[in-house]
Structure formats: structure tokens, C-alpha cells
Amino acid sequence: MKSLMIYGATGYTGRLAVEQAVASGLPVLLAGRGREALIDLAGRFDLPYRVFDLADEAAIDAAFKEVAAILNCAGPFLRTAGPLMRAALRNGVDYLDIAAELDSYRLAEVLEEEAREAGVMLLPGGGGSVAMLGCLAGHAARRVEDPQTVRVALHVSGAMSRGSAVSAAESVTTETFIRSHGRLVPRPDAERVLFDFGDGPAPCFPVTLPDLITIGRSTGAANVETFVHVSGAAFPEGDLAALPDGPNAEERASHPYQAAVEVVGCDGATARSILHTVNGYTFTPMAAAEAARRVLAGTRRAGFQTPAELFGDDFIEGFPETRLLDL
């Protein structure tokens, strides 16, 4: 049976994804650049591994033999998504990642036709906030006729991992974007907006999230805006390299995530829903492993896909401590 390659397997989220994939009984192949760390992790789970640099196409292609799908957990995705997506296209391997930045998604749009012709699926955001927000938006969008506008906010709580902080810092744009009439354009203002996550209105600031692309695709809404409400040390400052690897299990358990969405239909009717779930660093590896399991089992379509499109809006409802509420 062909394997699921997890690239960036020795990183903070990568290790959690490996644990989830192994627990799900998936045939896992570890991969990354650091030989010693891979040897240690492979020994822990008795798994095969491949060491290669993303600048070496021949080494990547050799490592992709007997691989059905790759789950890219190695940020910054600005650097890793391009080489691995193109390698997936060359080798007929489905691509998944856990990116929360825009780069993977823009590239997937560029490569979509090539992926269709190659019979390869590109599924950036197979786990993480894109799966959360996409399913939440889709759930609310079903409650209105012909959704036109989606405004969605994520409540990020607790500490950020070192890898996520570096990825976020490298992907910061000088402008904040919205989706307007089907196109990404600069946001005309930076005003905060109030969203109710279930405990009363909370101020949220506008940010550029990949959901501008994915929610537009999955709901058909021409207008999408994305926001974040931050509590705790979610966006650290200073020397990012000095940050801890990531929050421990107790810290993750004490900082669950929430999200809220507002969808407006063609007749002006509005639907509001909220999502309560576990911490993002707990949710992401669970969702990514489940997405990979479904892909290996045959749930796949060639081209650029989103989790909500591919698996349905109820994809997230089966995860522990996850619930959707309509307001």
C-alpha cells in the first residue's frame, strides 16, 4: 500500500500529526531535512523515513516513490509549498498541507489546471483554521438563499508555536485584503468589528487569511472578510527563534478556540453561527490526519480543493469538543 509522506515530521505540529496518523493506522513515511531528528522520530514509531532538501528535485522525486499523498507540515509555507506542490504534480502524488498563510492557496490557484491534467489533488489547509472556518461558513451559508457576503472571525487563544510565529512573520503583508466581487483587493479601512463568540461582543481586527480564497470557492460568495480576536500571547514579539517549541498538552487544553460567522444572502437575510472547538494545535493534527485518511481511502478530486468542498461542511463536527451553534 502506498504511503502518506509527512514532510516536516519533526517540527512541533508535524510530530503531533505523525502521532495522529499512526493512531489512525495510516501507512506513514516520515520526511524532512534533519537526519538525526528523523532517525529519532522514526525509531520511536518504527517508521521509514526519507531525508532530502527542497532544492534537490532529483532527491525529492526519488523520495516520492510509493507515496500516494504528502502532508506538508513544514513552514514557512512561502518556502516549502512551491517545491512540494510541483513535485506532487511531477510524481502523481496528492498534496495536503496545514498552512494558515495565503501562499499555498494562491499557488494552488495558479497550478489548478495543471493539477487537473495530471490527475493530482491540491488540498492546502487540510487541517487547521481553514477547515474550521470553511465548514462553519458553509454551515451558515446553507441557511440563506444565494450567499453574497461572508464575514468570519477566529478567536485565537494561548501561545503560538515557534514555527507558526516564524511562518506568520514571513507572510505578513503591508496591506490587508478582502474578497470583493470575486477578487482580492486592499481593504479600504482597518476598523475593528464586533463578533459574538458566545460570551458577548468582542472586538476583532481585520487580517488577511487564506479563507478569503477558500470560503469564496466553497460557498460561492463574491465578498469575504476575515478577522481575528486575540487573547493571550497568540502573536508574540521579540526574538521568535527564542520561543518554546510550542504549547504543551495542558496549555492547549486550557485555551480552546472559537469562531463566528455572518452570512448575508441575495435577499438581505442574515445567518449567524459560532464554532467552539479545541485549541488549534490540537485540532490541526487531528483534522490533517483525518483528511489524509479520507484521501488515502479514495475521497479525492483532481485540482485545487478545499476541506469544506471535498469532505462537506460537516467534516469538523465529528472531532472531540467541537460544536456548531446557530444564533
Tens of pLDDT, residue by residue, the chain (327 residues): 799 999 999 999 999 999 999 999 999 999 999 999 999 999 999 999 999 999 999 999 999 999 999 999 998 999 999 999 999 999 999 999 999 989 889 999 999 999 999 999 999 999 889 999 999 999 999 999 999 999 999 999 877 776 665 665 555 556 899 999 999 999 999 899 999 999 999 999 999 999 999 999 999 999 999 999 988 665 555 665 666 678 899 999 999 999 999 999 999 999 999 999 999 999 999 999 999 999 999 999 999 999 999 999 999 998 999 999 999
Q: Please give the backbone phi and psi of residue 202, each rounded to the nearest 5 degrees, phi first.
A: -130, 135
CA distances from 283 to 18, 168, 320 (A): 14, 18, 9
Residue 262 and residue 309 in contact, taking contact as beta carbons nearer than 8 Å: no
Residue 74 and residue 8 in contact, taking contact as beta carbons nearer than 8 Å: yes
Give the tens place of pLDDT for each residue, 198-223.
999 999 999 999 999 999 999 999 99
Instruction: Return all residues near 168 (Cβ < 8 A) that are at least 6 apart.
Output: 100, 101, 160, 235
Quick one: pLDDT at residue 160?
Answer: 72
Instruction: Tell me the fold of 129-280+314-326.
Output: Dihydrodipicolinate Reductase; domain 2 (3.30.360)
Quick one: pLDDT at residue 185?
Answer: 96
Quick one: pLDDT at residue 174?
Answer: 63
234-253 per-residue burial string, b: 16 or more CB within 10 A, e: under 16: bebeeebeebeebbeeeebe
Give the number of other Cβ atoms within 10 Å of residue 256's Cβ. 18
Residues of the chain with CATH 3.40.50.720: 3-126+284-311
CA distances from 159 to 155, 243, 281, 292, 325 (A): 13, 10, 10, 26, 26
Quick one: pLDDT at residue 157?
Answer: 86
Residues of the chain with CATH 3.30.360.10: 129-280+314-326
Q: Please give the backbone phi and psi of residue 75, each rounded to the nearest 5 degrees, phi first.
A: -95, 170
CATH superfamily of this structure's domain 3-126+284-311: NAD(P)-binding Rossmann-like Domain (3.40.50.720)
pTM (2 decimals)?
0.94
